[in-house]
């Protein structure tokens, strides 16, 4: 109030006549809200802060909220209507209305007093109210790349569009999901060691550079191109830790990390480095950190691009199924590819087989192939190994109370919850949990309610449930899609009960057979076994396995695996006869004694057959 009179104007009333002009420009064809806002931005000087800052009590920018307030008042005055959901259009009265400054204020006061009598709250700080014909705000937030051979950001901004440079079905489907009014950001992801705004002891940190932000105007649904109203050019901003390597990613706004990223990107909120470095995954990865206020000698954009070695193109995996073969696997690349494909689809896999078929060895290497690397740093953070045993409990594996150093009990996450937290911290990278001897413990007791959440069809936040032990009231947990579980199962152990059917339904099972063939012969020959010895070993082990498979008290699951008679990767066999004899006497023989514990003569007979002519 000034001298007893109300000031004629507030921040959003200036948009009243401009919004009418925007809808008039396409009348009688209605406009989408995003198109109307883009038109308004080209006709009026909008403060840059209004385009980037969020209102105090909402998720929309000041500009978006102001235009929606203008639409609310004009609709209440009968000048704007929605001929169909999600569109704005003029009424007959609106077509013939051209508002002056005084007329704008008079309309505002009349509608305000009719709809909000006695209101004292400043409307500019409140989210604009939705009208009955407006859809619920379900804005999605997209982070996209601009490099597939060259940097295209400058052209995208100039032409008001974004293009998908890939033709795979997954990329095309993601682009088709983008809708008008969704927010979009161009990003570049790379690794950085120098000039960080915090101290992590010189370790490499994942960085995502936000190069531009905007709003989706139109999607032609070809999976290739969308129209975008890009925000005014601004200085690139770097976001750390929780980053996206994939070219097209929809942010998970319900996740706390995702919500903070959205606020940073579209609301220009600062990143709280301390909060991230205190989360268990990054605390374990980087250790105690000392945040600083400004980077010391920050690298240039060109330097960070050089550090990252082409940031927008995913580097080819360093470890593949071919790597597994070179390390001594006797399955073909096609068979390994089939196993990996099944694992990616089901999310949970068990390798089962007789003793010595390389189950644990292969499980770990399939994990390396899934994450694309077997280097120490990668496997320490993205691949975890645990062995089940009869005394393992839910409290050990999932979460439970444990003694603290001060004599109190502390709620501690087990390896499964640690793996879940790690996978959630880097959502577009695969993480692996290897469970050795998964049937040696009691899976139903060890997994508890997590067995349901592991199912591939329930890997979604909407399926989250409360755990037996909760950190805070109402805490709900779900298993991320990027966590892959692989177990091993010895089918010959007499002490183990039949596997729970609930576990079988949630895991895919792959049988591993003894492999004594050409691949085994080549591997063993390269390590010193001559052809005569190889033929003799293969013939005798194969005959033994036939005897075991046909025995009424045993069966195929008790056969002897190839690992018993395969040289290690760095082993050099100088005396093949002595090497084989030692394997039979110290490894295979004792196993046969266990198999035929009630027929010691039979066990000795089979052992003598293996050693005939070698003693």
Region of poorest pLDDT, from 53-57, 302-306, 443-447: 302-306
Q: 352 - beta bridge partners?
A: 489, 511
**Which two tokens mark 357?**
């078929």
Which residues lie below 8 Å from residue 132, measured CB to CB, with a gap of 6+? none
pLDDT at 606: 95
More confident residue, 563 or 115: 563
Domains of the chain, start order: 15-125 (1.10.10), 141-308 (no CATH), 321-512 (3.40.50.300), 518-611 (no CATH)
* Cis ω for the linkage preceding 120 (within 30 of 0): no
Residue 164, phi then psi, degrees to nearest 5:
-90, 120
pLDDT, tens digit, 9 for 90 and up, residues 478-523: 999 999 999 999 888 755 545 678 888 899 999 999 999 999 999 9
| Counts for the chain of helices (H) and strands (E), in that order | 26, 18
Predicted confidence (pLDDT) at residue 52 exceeds the cutoff of 90: no
Average pLDDT over residues 384-400: 95
| 3-state DSSP assignment of residue 205 | strand
> pLDDT averaged over the chain?
86
**Which two tokens mark 430?**
């695969």
DSSP letter for each residue of 293-358: SS-SSPPPHHHHHHHHTSTTSPPPPSS-HHHHHHTT--S-HHHHHHHHHHHHHHSEEEEEESTTS-
pTM of the model: 0.76
Work out the number of other CB atoms within 10 angstroms of the CB of residue 428.
Answer: 16
| 3-state DSSP assignment of residue 184 | strand
Percent of the chain with pLDDT over 70: 88
Q: Are 192 and 152 in contact (CB under 8 A)?
A: no
How many Å apart are CA 591 and CA 559, to the nearest integer?
Answer: 10
Predicted confidence (pLDDT) at residue 22 exceeds the cutoff of 60: yes
pLDDT at 293: 46
Which residues lie below 8 Å from residue 268, measured CB to CB, with a gap of 6+? 52, 53, 237
Work out the number of other CB atoms within 10 angstroms of the CB of residue 613.
Answer: 6
Pairing label, strands 237-240, 248-250: unpaired
Banded pLDDT at 201 (limits 50, 70, 90): confident
Residues recorded for the chain: 615
Percent of the chain with pLDDT over 90: 53
How many Å apart are CA 108 and CA 85, to the nearest integer?
Answer: 25
């Amino acid at each position: 109030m000034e001298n007893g009179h109300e000031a004629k104007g507030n921040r959003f009333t200036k948009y009243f006549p401009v919004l009418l002009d925007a809808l008039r420009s396409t009348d009688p064809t209605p406009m989408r809200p995003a198109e109307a806002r883009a038109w308004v931005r080209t006709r009026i000087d909008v403060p840059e802060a209004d385009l980037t800052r969020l209102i105090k009590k909402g998720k929309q920018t000041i500009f978006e909220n102001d235009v929606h307030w203008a639409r609310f008042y004009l609709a209440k005055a009968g000048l704007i209507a929605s001929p169909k959901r999600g569109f704005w259009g003029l009424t007959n009265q609106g077509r013939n209305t051209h508002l002056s400054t005084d007329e704008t204020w008079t309309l505002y006061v009349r509608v305000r007093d009719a709809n909000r009598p006695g209101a004292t709250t400043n409307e500019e700080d409140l989210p604009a109210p939705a009208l009955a014909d407006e859809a619920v705000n379900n804005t999605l937030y997209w982070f996209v790349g601009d490099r597939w051979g060259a940097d295209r950001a400058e052209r995208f901004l100039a032409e008001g569009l974004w293009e998908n440079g890939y033709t795979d079905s997954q990329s095309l489907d993601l682009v088709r999901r983008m809708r008008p009014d969704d927010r979009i950001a161009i990003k570049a992801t790379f690794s950085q060691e120098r000039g960080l705004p915090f101290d992590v002891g010189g370790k490499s940190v994942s960085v995502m550079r936000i190069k531009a932000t905007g709003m989706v105007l139109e999607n032609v649904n070809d999976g290739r191109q969308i129209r975008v109203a890009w925000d005014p050019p601004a200085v690139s901003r770097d976001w750390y830790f929780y980053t996206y390597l994939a070219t097209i990613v929809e942010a998970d706004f319900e996740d706390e990390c995702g919500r903070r990223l959205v606020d940073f990107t579209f609301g220009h909120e600062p990143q709280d480095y301390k909060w991230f470095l205190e989360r268990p995954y990054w605390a374990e990865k980087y250790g105690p950190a000392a945040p600083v206020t400004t980077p010391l000698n920050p690298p240039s954009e060109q330097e960070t691009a050089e550090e990252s070695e082409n940031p927008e193109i995913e580097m080819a995996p360093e470890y593949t199924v071919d790597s597994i073969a070179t390390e001594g696997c006797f399955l073909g690349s096609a068979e390994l590819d089939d196993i990996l494909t099944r694992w990616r689809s089901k999310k949970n896999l068990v390798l089962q087989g007789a003793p010595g078929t390389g189950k644990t060895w292969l499980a770990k290497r399939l994990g390396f192939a899934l994450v694309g690397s077997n280097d120490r740093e990668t496997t320490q953070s993205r691949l975890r190994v645990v062995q089940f045993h009869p005394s393992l409990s839910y409290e050990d594996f999932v979460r439970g109370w444990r003694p603290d150093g001060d004599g109190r009990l502390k709620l501690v996450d087990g390896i499964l919850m640690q793996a879940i937290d790690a996978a959630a911290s880097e959502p577009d990278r695969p993480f692996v949990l290897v469970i050795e001897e998964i049937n040696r413990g009691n899976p139903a007791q060890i997994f508890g309610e997590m067995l349901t959440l592991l199912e591939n069809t329930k890997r979604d936040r909407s399926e989250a449930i409360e755990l037996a032990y909760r950190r805070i009231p109402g805490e709900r947990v779900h298993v991320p899609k990027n966590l892959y579980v692989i177990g091993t199962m010895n089918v010959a152990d007499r002490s183990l009960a039949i596997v729970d059917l609930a576990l079988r339904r949630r895991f895919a099972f792959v049988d591993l057979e003894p492999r004594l063939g050409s691949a085994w012969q080549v591997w063993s020959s390269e390590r010193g076994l001559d052809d005569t010895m190889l033929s003799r070993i293969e013939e005798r082990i194969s005959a033994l396995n036939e005897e075991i498979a046909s025995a009424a008290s045993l069966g195929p699951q008790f056969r002897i695996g190839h690992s018993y008679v395969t040289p290690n990767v760095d082993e050099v066999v100088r005396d093949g006869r002595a090497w084989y004899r030692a394997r039979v006497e110290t490894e295979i023989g004792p196993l046969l004694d266990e198999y035929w514990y009630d027929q010691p003569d039979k066990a000795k007979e089979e052992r003598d057959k293996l050693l005939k002519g070698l003693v």
